[in-house]
Chain A
Amino acid sequence: MDLENQRRVKEFAEKYGPENVVVVLGASEGEAAGLAAETVTAGDPTFAGPLTGVQLGLTVYHVCEPEIKEEFDPDVYEDQISMMEMVLDVDDIVNEMSAIRDEYCKYL
């Protein structure tokens, strides 16, 4: 994850309390989504950014996951995102994200 984005995530977790922060991702592949999710839960796996060794355990979802999708206004989702479901491998993304959440999320 971009270093500046990591810094922002860390700041918001400190400011609002990690239990009040939710991270929503838009990655194009399962693996990339998993890496970003790992970064905001278990720490930066690439050891490059401000989240290296920081286990925030934030709640994190990909925008196409069913649990979070059902909370959106369906018309908004239809306009903004629906077409990408035909493009992305949503099953792969869901698998990667679920695995990370089960292991590292502290506030579910």
Chain B
Amino acid sequence: MNAVIKGASYILAHVPGMVIHNGSTQITERIVNPESEYLKQLPEHLRTYQQAVEYWPNQVYIGNKTPEELAGVEFPYYDKPLAGAGRYGKFGEIMPEAEFLLLMQCADVFDVLLLEKGFVAAHRDELAADPVITEDIAARVKEGAEAADIERFVKEEHAEGLYADGKLVGCVKRAHDIDVNLNAEVMHENLVNKASNTLALLYAVRNAGIEKTDVEYVIDCSEEACGDMNQRGGGNFAKAAAEIAGLMNATGSDSRGFCAGPSHAMVEAAALVKAGAYKTVAVTGGGCTAKLGMNGKDHVKKGLPALEDCLGGFCVILTANDGVNPEVNLDILGRHTVGTGSAPQNVIGSLVADPLERNGLKITDIDKYSPEMQNPDITKPAGAGDVPQSNYKMIAALAVKRGELEKKDLATFASKHGLVGFAPTQGHIPSGVPYIGFAREDILAGKIRNAMIIGKGSLFLGRMTNLFDGVSFVIQANTAAEQSAQSGVSESQVRGMIADAMKEFAAVLMAKE
């Protein structure tokens, strides 16, 4: 039987200090144009933590508001704060920068991350108060280093500075004198990914109502590379994060595919579970420092806040079929193949129309499509348009071309079968998966029957191929009862299974309240 979506988590960390110091746009600007107006103006455009919390798309991402509610907010979103919004949501949280730096230290097993004594003392209780940070994790925070030592490492030893409220409060040292794969910049990037990955794993376990010991396999689908000069992308973020999260029975591996990574990983996880190789698999992705402030120049030029100030993370727990939760239908898989080519109609055809046609379905048979869910507040001022809307226009145009949609319904297709974008531009993070948490709930509540998740990846950025990539899959209401009936399992057995699963589900709901 198909694997089910047992639960999902979505987390953000608001890191304005890293926007300035670790975003690739800013790093490049410091090299080519160190005295630029942009670098001078950027700090004034950074949002406070409270502003990031009250930002509508962020509240949707962590589950306090729905994409439908966001659709009712007048665009643009950055100047419409959501008063009374909080740090925690049903899917996860928005962690402040100071606590995130401490969490990075928890993720550091090589003693490369130092934090100043006073800073640690001021914030360690805050991190410990986080509902998913257990004592064993909080205990990994160290007493702290002297400010003078940190300054020396940054000035003389090529360490990467860590900043909070504009002040140097720590550093990440290089892990090797010569190997660039272990220099301070890469170690910083990887520790950020690992820490945000860990946070996503912790929330997902909680949200799915399972025990940490239930997780047997973790697939990381981020875009960072961990390794040394002899195996530059050796991995394995998945197992490294699982260790800090305390998933003692898990092993794992990293799966890569640029922004299509999460969708590939979801299909792999669903297949592993369906095949019986593992009963519970976590698909997880952490945040990316390089993309912080990626479109900052456009935002600053247009007088907007620097909206790319949050790291994103997500995790989905897939388990053996419980008779209740929505399942991943592995019969309906879209894939962009080597032979598909890069014409947009071929790309969207291979991902949407082809898999549906192979299963005797039409484009309009899918209730909701979740392609790339980038927040248009971020992309539109940067000239990249409204990415989800463009995807819906393409899907609708294809449906018209195939005679599955009337031309007059082109304009309403997006509002009926689509969503507004709400995810941060963290590469793999917005790619299809941000809707899985809502899709699970909407299917359980009977609001929709199914949803197609579409991931697309710009493989050409790695200069190894000019190819594009993408995969898609369909989540649908649970069919275990029908399948059992067909295979001759008695009705009472099915009832028993459903009753058990419902009890479990009720327990999870109660635990959350």
Contact = CB atoms under 8 A, between A and B. Distances in A.
Contacts of A35: 383
A1 B366 CA distance: 37
Interface of A: 3, 27-29, 31-32, 35, 46-49, 79-84, 86-87
Interface string B33-51: 1001000000000000000
A67 to B, nearest CB: 21
Interface stretch (B204-212, B389-397, B473-481): B389-397
B486 interface: no
B394 A83 contact: yes
Contacts of A29: 383-385
Interface string B327-364: 00000000000000101111010000000000000000
Closest A-B pairs by Cβ, 5 of them? A32-B383, A83-B345, A86-B397, A80-B343, A87-B393
B397 A87 contact: yes
Contacts of A47: 33, 36
B297 A46 contact: yes
A48 B29 contact: yes
A47 B34 CA distance: 11
B8 interface: no
Contacts of B232: none
A83 B399 CA distance: 11
Contact of B398 (A3, A28, A83): A83
14 contacts: A28-B390, A29-B383, A29-B384, A29-B385, A48-B29, A48-B33, A49-B32, A81-B343, A82-B345, A83-B345, A83-B348, A86-B394, A87-B390, A87-B393
A46 B390 CA distance: 26
Given A49-B32, A83-B394, 18 more contacts: A3-B28, A27-B383, A28-B385, A29-B383, A29-B385, A46-B297, A47-B33, A47-B36, A48-B29, A48-B32, A83-B344, A83-B401, A84-B344, A86-B393, A86-B410, A87-B390, A87-B393, A87-B394
A48 B394 contact: no
Interface string B384-425: 110000100110011001000000001000000000000000
Interface in B1-41: 28-29, 32-33, 36
A81 B344 contact: yes
Contact of B28 (A48, A81, A82, A84): A48
A83 B401 CA distance: 9
Contacts of A82: 345
Contacts of B394: 83-84, 86-87
A27 B382 CA distance: 12
A32 B381 CA distance: 10
Given A27-B383, A46-B297, A48-B28, A79 B397 contact: no
Nearest to A85: B397
Contacts of B33: 47-48
Interface in B110-129: none
Nearest to A28: B385
B25 to A, nearest CB: 9
* Residue from the set B36, B343, B346 with the largest chain A CB neighbour count within 10 Å: B343
Interface string B476-492: 00000000000000000
Nearest to A36: B383
A73 to B, nearest CB: 14
A25 to B, nearest CB: 12
A47 B390 CA distance: 30
Nearest to A47: B33
A29 B348 CA distance: 19
A2 B7 CA distance: 39
B351 to A, nearest CB: 14
A60 to B, nearest CB: 16
Nearest to A34: B383
